[in-house]
Structure 1
Amino acid sequence: MALQRILAVDDEPFNLEIIEEILEDLDFDLLTVTSGQQCLDVIEEFAPQVVLLDVSMPKMNGYEVCKKIKSNLATQDIIVMFVSARGSVEERMEGYAVGAEDYIVKPFGHNELKSKLLNLGQMLLERDILEQQVEDATSTAFNAMATSSEMGFIVNYIEQIGVIDDIQALAKALIQCLNNLGLSCNIEFRVDEQRHHFATAGLCSPIVLELFEILRAKGRLHEFTSRILVNYNLVSVLILNMPSEDADKHGRLRDHICFIASVTEQQLLAILTRKQLVCQQAELNEAITMIHSKFTGLLSLLNNNRSQNESIFRNLQEVFEQRIPTMGLDEDQEVFIYQHIDEAIQSSIAREEAIMQVREAFSEIESDLSLLSSAEKPS
């Protein structure tokens, strides 16, 4: 359902008044409390969808409150957004480590808080839409794991992605493979300076997007609590539910995830390479068409010139054959004139042979280009 109920927790009443003022024109049911214990006392009964949780509070700080919320089966799905005057990377990492979905730094503007809440509301809608799908996929995964090994899932994934040529389809196959292993994930593909995000739950939370940005250039592998992040040049995979209680299974799955991410990176490179080859093939075909057109035009021009030469010499020969006998020339003069006419005709014939050689050369070039075009076509 859409975002309706929000619980705001802050030991400073003035800060709660600011939140009330910002949200007064939005159709939210807002409840405010001034301590972490009050939050825990009312959260199950009020059932908020989002908790705006101050970090720095006496007796029980926001991190401790968030741990208790996320460890309670009745409240673990509630979205927690930390509200803090400190916004360092370490602060945000600690917030994410205890299970928060977002983080906003004081002082914040009216529009910033509204925008973040609207984004979280969209996450809730997507979660509801996908909830049944996730349940079905999870059920399928458990049934499959009862009859197949982990490596079987990985082998099936490798065989499946070999014929995939679309980024969306590759991400869907990767999510399904990890889901078959019982893992919930977030994924980032970096293609042509654009970032594409996918998740088991449909959308990546804002804090996940920040983690991808912060950690993508800081090493191959990052582990914190039950999360693990694997980075490659084009692919990052964040696993949300590593089995921390089982060290052997944790280590085995970590190796699987690194291998799966590596294979996915190679397939993504193959998809991008095929797309480049298709573009190059189109450009080559366009060039061949243009060359063929120019060759055809040039050969037509040569043929026209040859026809014109033949007509000129034929007319000239007829004129001389009619006029020379009546010109009163002696035998040597007639021989001289006929000899030069013959030489001109032979020269014309030689040019025709040259035209034939040019035509044959053009034909060979077109044949070579056709072979090149066939060889360059991507498989």
Structure 2
Amino acid sequence: MNDHDKPLVLIVDDDLFMLDFIFDALSETCNVITAENGKTALLLAQQQHPKLVLADVKMPEMDGYELCRQIKDDFDISDTPVLFLSALDGIEDRLQGFDVGGEDFVLKPANPRVLQAKVAHVLQLIEERQQLKSQAQYATNTAMLAMVSMSETGLLIEGLKYFNNCSAPLDLAKALINALALFEVESVVELILPNDESLAVNARGPASALEVSIMHHMSSMDRITQFKSRMSITYPHSRAFISNMPVHDPDRCGRLRDNLAILVEFTEYRLEALNIMLQAKQRDITIAATVKSLTMALSNIDEKQRNGRASAAIILNSVTARIEASLVGLQLTERQETSFIDIVRYGLEDVSNTLHADADFQDQLSQAIKALQNTITKT
């Protein structure tokens, strides 16, 4: 084992012979430093942070128990285990050692192998405790992170609810501003509308020209671009500029990047759906206006055709009467008169039949117009 890898052990004893004895017993497996009294030992412990302290119980000025108590009262070295060296093995001595936070007793005169075994055992316990402490700290941090993530997920879900009742782009922009504010960030939002029109707002109202220019500049970069505490999130028709990212907390900053990007992405999809709805609504208005105009035109045609057919019937009857009246003065034979009247009558009947055939079509047209009028009235 290299000296660098050996654990540092502090030995405290006012008996120089015992100090040398323990030094020799542990020097092969440990880096050993020594002190001849409790005050010096406490100072060394505070400066060099040994893995283990072996302290004689009986020392002048500051005995081993008092040294142990002061080590445990010092926050920086309170985890340092203390192994007592004592010729006394009574229950009261052990209880006193327990009360001040000692780890174990090594009886004097110490057997080198026993001493080595006890030191190795304590050092092993220290290693296991540190591992357990690290695992416990990791578990605690993981649990805290999970709690924070659950809390932020709740904020994300709450923020998405803001988009439910948005019926116009301005409503959608304000909803995104409010959703981002749940994460304690200040933002500017821009929506790109049809015909390349732009709607840019912040929490106070319309965005400033400088804010808009910054967003336009950063929109040409990556989808998510961060410069110190400033961050932009850019989608084809939805953009957000965050001015106060918590760069002092990298973990939270990373989570915010994900959550805020989800909100802007959702805005992109909602804006697309809103545009489709508005386009459909405008198309419906155009179709309704066209149908109404067409219905009025067909209604006028229907009325004129009906009036024309009635006028044609009157004219035919008048023509028939005048022809019959004029035949009296022509001095035709009865046969000639009958033949002429038959020709005229058959021609007039053909015209009348044609008008009747058109009447069926006219009725169908009237029914279609009536149906269109009912549809317009309902809408």
**If the length of structure 2 is used for normalisation, what is the TM-score?**
0.52
Aligned to 1:245, the other structure's residue is in SS state coil
1:259 is matched by which residue type in structure 2? I
Whether 1:217 and 2:220 are equivalent positions in the alignment is yes
How big is each residue's C-alpha offset from its partner over 1:100-157, in whole Å with a ceiling of 9 and x where there is no partner? Answer: xxxxxxxxxxxxxxxxxxxxxxxxxxxxxxxxxxxxxxxxxxxxx99x8433343344
Stretch moving more, 187-196 or 254-263: 187-196
Whether 1:269 and 2:272 are equivalent positions in the alignment is yes
2:172 is matched by which residue type in structure 1? L
Distance 1:371 1:155 in 2: 45
Q: Would you say the 8 A contact 1:302–1:355 is kept in 2?
A: no
The number of equivalent residue pairs is: 231
Whether 1:244 and 2:252 are equivalent positions in the alignment is no
Shift of 1:201: 4.9
2:266 is matched by which residue type in structure 1? V
Structure with the larger RCO, 1 or 2 (CA within 8 Å, 6+ apart)? 1
Whether 1:316 and 2:319 are equivalent positions in the alignment is yes
- CA 1:371–1:194 in 2, change beyond 3 Å: closer, same or farther? same
Pick from 157, 168, 173: which aligns with 1:166?
A: 168
Pick from 169, 188, 192: which aligns with 1:190?
A: 192
1:292 aligned partner: 295
Whether 1:199 and 2:202 are equivalent positions in the alignment is yes
Trace 1:17-56 onto structure 2 (pairs within 5 A).
none
Shift of 1:237: 0.6
Identity %: 20
Shift of 1:207: 4.4
Aligned to 1:229, the other structure's residue is in SS state strand
Distance 2:372 2:234 in 1: 43
Larger Rg: 2
Shift of 1:271: 2.5
How big is each residue's C-alpha offset from its partner over 1:148-184, in whole Å with a ceiling of 9 and x where there is no partner? Answer: 8433343344344233112222122111111112222
Root mean square deviation, CA, Å? 3.5
How big is each residue's C-alpha offset from its partner over 1:161-214, in whole Å with a ceiling of 9 and x where there is no partner? Answer: 233112222122111111112222111122233332222355645543332121
- CA 1:204–1:324 in 2, change beyond 3 Å: closer, same or farther? closer
- CA 1:308–1:369 in 2, change beyond 3 Å: closer, same or farther? closer
Shift of 1:336: 1.9
Q: Would you say the 8 A contact 1:229–1:237 is kept in 2?
A: yes
- CA 1:181–1:348 in 2, change beyond 3 Å: closer, same or farther? same
Distance 2:250 2:302 in 1: 77
Pick from 181, 202, 208: which aligns with 1:179?
A: 181
2:352 aligned partner: 349
Distance 2:240 2:254 in 1: 16
Distance 1:371 1:350 in 2: 32
Distance 2:164 2:174 in 1: 14
Aligned to 1:161, the other structure's residue is in SS state coil
Q: Would you say the 8 A contact 1:244–1:250 is kept in 2?
A: yes
Trace 1:121-140 onto structure 2 (pairs within 5 A).
none
2:286 aligned partner: 283
Distance 1:365 1:299 in 2: 11
How big is each residue's C-alpha offset from its partner over 1:246-274, in whole Å with a ceiling of 9 and x where there is no partner? Answer: 33332222111111111111222223333
2:15 aligned partner: none
Whether 1:307 and 2:310 are equivalent positions in the alignment is yes
How big is each residue's C-alpha offset from its partner over 1:330-375, in whole Å with a ceiling of 9 and x where there is no partner? Answer: 443243223223322322223323433543564576589789989x
- CA 1:347–1:318 in 2, change beyond 3 Å: closer, same or farther? same
Distance 2:173 2:355 in 1: 63
